[in-house]
A and B are shown apart, each in its own frame.
Chain A
Amino acid sequence: MADQALDGAAPRPLLSLRNVNMTFGGVKALKNVSFEVLPGEVHCLAGENGSGKSTLIKVITGVYKPEAGAEIDYDGQSYPHMSPVTAQASGIQVIWQDLALFPEMTVAENIAFQTVIGRWPRLVNYAEMRRVAINALQRLGVTFDVDLALHHFPIAQRQIVAIARALIGEAKLVFMDEPTASLTQSETDYLLDVVRNLSASGVAVVFVSHRLAEVLEISSRVTVLRDGALVGVYPTKGLTQSRITELMTGKTFDYSVLHRDLSRSPVMLEVKGLSRPGEFDDVSLTVRRGETLGITGLLGAGRTELALTLFGMRKPKSGSVALDGKPVRFGSNRDAIAAGVAYLSEDRLSLGLIQPQAIADNMVIASLDKILSGGFISSDRKRSLVNRWIRDLGVRIGKQDDAISTLSGGNQQRVAIAKWLATDPKLLILDAPTVGVDVGARAGIFDIVSKLADSGLAIILISDEVPEVYFNADRVLHMAQGRIVGEFTPGATTLQAMEEAVYA
């Protein structure tokens, strides 16, 4: 379209789409979208869940057929629509979030199994497979033991295996869907290096990510989608995280640090010299009523282990914990819940919620005793409890009996918070509460957290994203290698100083 003016000297785009429309069941998933990728560039596709990113990728890779009128130019050819076979054959590859790898097979088999499929006679040439795999890894600038089964490798390296597999098909354009969602900071850095190598070797990369920091770091241009429509294409230089957030959500967010005077508020949690060998050492901290204590640090710093110990799921080797002035020693998380401790797991998909089960059941599971009537579960009480929390926390659902997996990340997290609030906690530990939650929905989660603190709850907020704790906690502890190595007060310390200290 004419309003998509580019600088005159720009090279011919590798991929260019115009007038792409898609409708699902009366809902327009893509409205007149255009999209361009230059050869060898790292291009970021940004947008909230439901903004049309995945639909667009599926149109480009031939999974969906766009409505008539769409124009797709790729590598000098025009197509009315793509088909999966043409897309693959002409070098378009996608690395989906779930990776689709085989954990029990070796790295070489994972990378190169496609090269040996379909040839006659159907015998597997392992030497050829190893050679192809090693080649592909070399192009990415990494060396792995290709004979080792994949499940021995951490997720970051599995990502790289998935990329290597994409490369053996002579890829020209690689889509990466949330590649860093489950990675630590150092693993992310490692992956970003690989992406840079890939781009330098002439392969264009389209990067889809929720983490705006790395979007800014890696890409040269950003295409923003909102509600299925194109917001615009922006050069990354000059963009900030808050600007992208505004573009993605169409709202402006007020970023300011908390200013709550809690010096006279009674102490709710007091931890002294808590240790578990190999996990954390000599941790002392206090959280007051109405206070949000942030704990940040890289993954593996012992944050989750500390939280699980406070939640009674692990036993400390030494040290003491006092809750509301009384010393406590939990035999299990049941004791901790009874005493008023709630723990929102960092792993919502496999530990936080029971994905296939109903929204209502997930909400009442930790507080079943409250909906009993004469020893039996009362469906009336259950429904009214669930309705109350859905209203109070603004959860958007279809039916109470729908599986929790039908909800978006943000709504799932609200249900998870409701599940714990239903237990009447005194201390709420939130472990990475925004993982897999849209940028726009994150603000909503933190609104809830802030209201909970104001109502007198003591909150521990764990996150590896420093800005998150900076803007949402009263005080922040920095954990590294199992020890508390620093304490910051947002406002008194600048965000930049804190980020430098943590990411150093």
Chain B
Amino acid sequence: MTVLIERVRNALGPELAGPFAAFVAVMIVFGFAAPNFLSRATFGSVAFQLPELGLLTLAMLLPILTGGLNLAITFTANMAGLTLAWVLQSQGGVDAGIGAFLLGSVLAIAVGALSGLIMGLVIAYTKAHPILVSLSMMIFLRGLGEFLTRGGDVSGIPGFLAPIGYGSIFGIPVPLLIFIACVLIWHVLLTRMKLGFNTYMIGSNIEATRYSGINTRKVQVLVYTLSGAMCAVAGIIMLARFNSVRVGHGESYLLITVLACFLGGVNPFGGFGRVIPVFVALAVLQLLSSGLNLMGASQHLATAVWGILMITVMILRWLAGRLKFLNTNRG
């Protein structure tokens, strides 16, 4: 048994062992507790709900790895969604064509990236704390969005957008495919690209990284810009799913994204963390709430259980750390 655990650990890496164990635990518990848990319907609902939270979590991950935070993710996503919605409206609303959608999406991603770019520049040049900078951006975007929409919904979305929110290709939901593509992009970025390498280094010690000849400002600016662009992708998918945009949509995801990163083994102080464990952690959170939902528990209770899960994970990690410490000390 211990050999097996060791093997799984080696194959998955230390960060993945925790989320993977939680994944197995959730499957087993709900598999027994809720007879219809291990069904297509459960996985269908998870597959459609996961991407929104998941994309926002990817947007949160990069800044956290640099030792920062991006609190503006949900409102950046809303702003990008609004940009797309306005472009569609100006091109005929429900009758708008594919061209308008493509133009709108490019502009939406540009708006998201711009929000990140501004934060990145401020953080890199003034050395202000990312929490303050992104909080300011969050408040700015919320106020601006509410002002422009007068607090209401923007709807009138052409029907061909629905598949992006609800469609499937070969039985796999389109939003999930988009999310998996983004996960892979982030994975390659972090494991194989200079920017990813430098992101980790900055997260551990930005001054030592600068002394090593890395343009740390450029890295920070790029990280926040990419974070903003990823928010925009989330915003586009949210638009397609809700068929409308409203400033404040998905606001409750903000802190969940931070928690999902930590559940995935990301170091809260930066420098360490991988994409795939975060992906598994997200799946665990989503399965947990779907399972509780199936058992008839309210959505509020599901949120409460997320909180308990996080705390349990912290305690288990501490215990595992102590166990390892005792083992190495005894030799």
Complex CA–CA separation, A417 to B210 (angstroms): 17
Are B194 and A25 in contact, with the CB atoms below 8 A? no
B292 to chain A, nearest CB (A): 38
A25 & B213 in contact (Cβ 8 Å cutoff): no
Expressed in whole angstroms, the Cα–Cα distance for A353 and B201 within the complex equals 10
> Contact between B194 and A350 (Cβ–Cβ < 8 Å)?
no
Residue in B207, B210, B211, B329 whose beta carbon sits within 8 Å of that of A25 in the complex: B329
In the complex, whether B208 has a CB less than 8 A from a CB of chain A is: yes
Does the CB pair A350–B331 fall under 8 Å? Answer: no
As a 0/1 sequence over residues 111 to 150 of chain A, the CB contacts with chain B under 8 angstroms (1 = contact) are: 0000000000000000000000000000000000000000
B212 touches A365 (CB 8 A): yes
**Restricting to A287-319, which residues have a CB under 8 Å from any CB of B?**
313
Is A333 an interface residue when CB atoms closer than 8 A count as contact? yes
Among B194, B201, B208, B272, find the residue whose CB has the most chain A CB atoms closer than 10 A.
B208
- For the residues of A in contact with B, the DSSP-based class is mixed
Would A357 and B212 count as touching, CB distance under 8 A?
no
Residue of A nearest to B267 (CB): A356
Instruction: Contact check, A350 vs B207: say whether CB atoms are below 8 A apart.
Output: yes
Let me know if A361 and B213 touch, CB within 8 A: no
Proximity bits, B196-208, A CB within 8 Å = 1, else 0: 0100110011011
> Would you call A334 and B209 a contact (CB within 8 A)?
no
Q: Are B211 and A357 in contact (CB under 8 A)?
A: no
Instruction: Judge whether B201 and A361 touch: CB under 8 Å.
Output: yes
Contact, CB under 8 Å: A351 / B213: no
A26 to B197, CA, bound (A): 38
* Other-chain residue from B209, B271, B328 in contact with A365 (beta carbon distance below 8 A): B209
Q: Does B330 contact A (CB under 8 A)?
A: yes
Q: Which of B193, B213, B328 contacts A334 (CB under 8 A)?
A: B213
The yes or no answer to B183 lying at the interface (CB within 8 A) is no
Given contacts A365-B212, A377-B197, contact A355 B331 (CB under 8 A): no
A354 & B192 in contact (Cβ 8 Å cutoff): no
**Is residue B299 contacting chain A, with contact meaning CB distance below 8 A?**
no
When the two chains form their complex, are residues B212 and A366 in contact, meaning their CB atoms are under 8 A apart? Answer: yes
A27, A350, A354, A375: the one contacting B201 at CB < 8 Å is: A354
A158 on the B face (CB < 8 A): no
Is B215 in the interface zone, CB < 8 Å from A?
yes
A345–B193 touching, CB < 8 Å = no
Does residue A24 face the partner (Cβ distance < 8 Å to B)? yes
Contact of A354 with B209 in the complex, beta carbons under 8 Å: yes
Interface size class of A (residues with CB under 8 A): 20 to 34
Interface string of B170-207 (1 = CB under 8 A from A): 00000000000000000010011110010011001101
Contact B200 A357 (CB under 8 A): yes
Q: A25-B329, A25-B330, A333-B213 are in contact. Are A352 and B208 (CB under 8 A)?
A: yes
Whether B331 pairs with A25 at a CB distance below 8 angstroms is yes
User: For B191, B192, B200, B214, which residue has the most chain A Cβ atoms within 10 angstroms?
Assistant: B192
Least Cβ distance of B196 to chain A in Å?
Answer: 8
> Nearest residue in B to A24 (C-beta to C-beta)?
B331
Contact, CB under 8 Å: A24 / B200: no
Expressed in whole angstroms, the Cα–Cα distance for A356 and B204 within the complex equals 7
Give the chain A neighbours of B215 by CB distance below 8 A.
332, 334
A332 contacts across to B, CB distance below 8 A: 215
A63 to chain B, nearest CB (A): 13
Q: A356-B204, A356-B271, A357-B204 are in contact. Are A351 and B211 (CB under 8 A)?
A: yes
Residues from chain B with a CB closer than 8 A to the CB of A377 are 191-194, 197
Q: When the two chains form their complex, are residues A357 and B271 in contact, meaning their CB atoms are under 8 A apart?
A: yes
Q: Which of A313, A354, A372, A419 contacts B204 (CB 8 A)?
A: A354
Interface string of A341-369 (1 = CB under 8 A from B): 00101000011111111000100011010
Residues of B within 8 A of A350 (CB): 205, 207-208
Question: Do the beta carbons of A354 and B193 come within 8 Å of each other?
Answer: no
Contact with A along B1-43 (1 / 0, CB 8 A): 0000000000000000000000000000000000000000000
Q: Which residue of A lies closest to B200 (CB)?
A: A357
Which residues of B lie under 8 Å from residue A255 when comparing CB positions? none
Which partner residue on chain A sits nearest B188 by CB separation? A376
Given contacts A368-B194, A372-B194, A376-B192, contact A333 B211 (CB under 8 A): yes
Contact of B207 among A24, A351, A361, A376 (CB under 8 A): A351
Cα distance A336–B227 in the bound complex, in angstroms: 31
- With A and B bound together, what is the CA distance between A160 and B197 in angstroms? 42
Query: 15 other contacts beyond A333-B211, A334-B215, with CB at 8 A cut-off?
Result: A25-B329, A26-B331, A313-B211, A343-B211, A345-B211, A350-B208, A352-B211, A353-B208, A357-B204, A365-B201, A365-B214, A377-B192, A377-B194, A419-B212, A423-B213
26 contacts between A and B (CB under 8 A): A24-B331, A25-B328, A25-B330, A26-B331, A313-B211, A332-B215, A333-B210, A333-B213, A350-B208, A352-B208, A354-B204, A354-B205, A356-B204, A356-B271, A357-B201, A357-B271, A361-B201, A365-B209, A365-B212, A366-B213, A368-B197, A377-B192, A377-B193, A377-B194, A377-B197, A419-B212
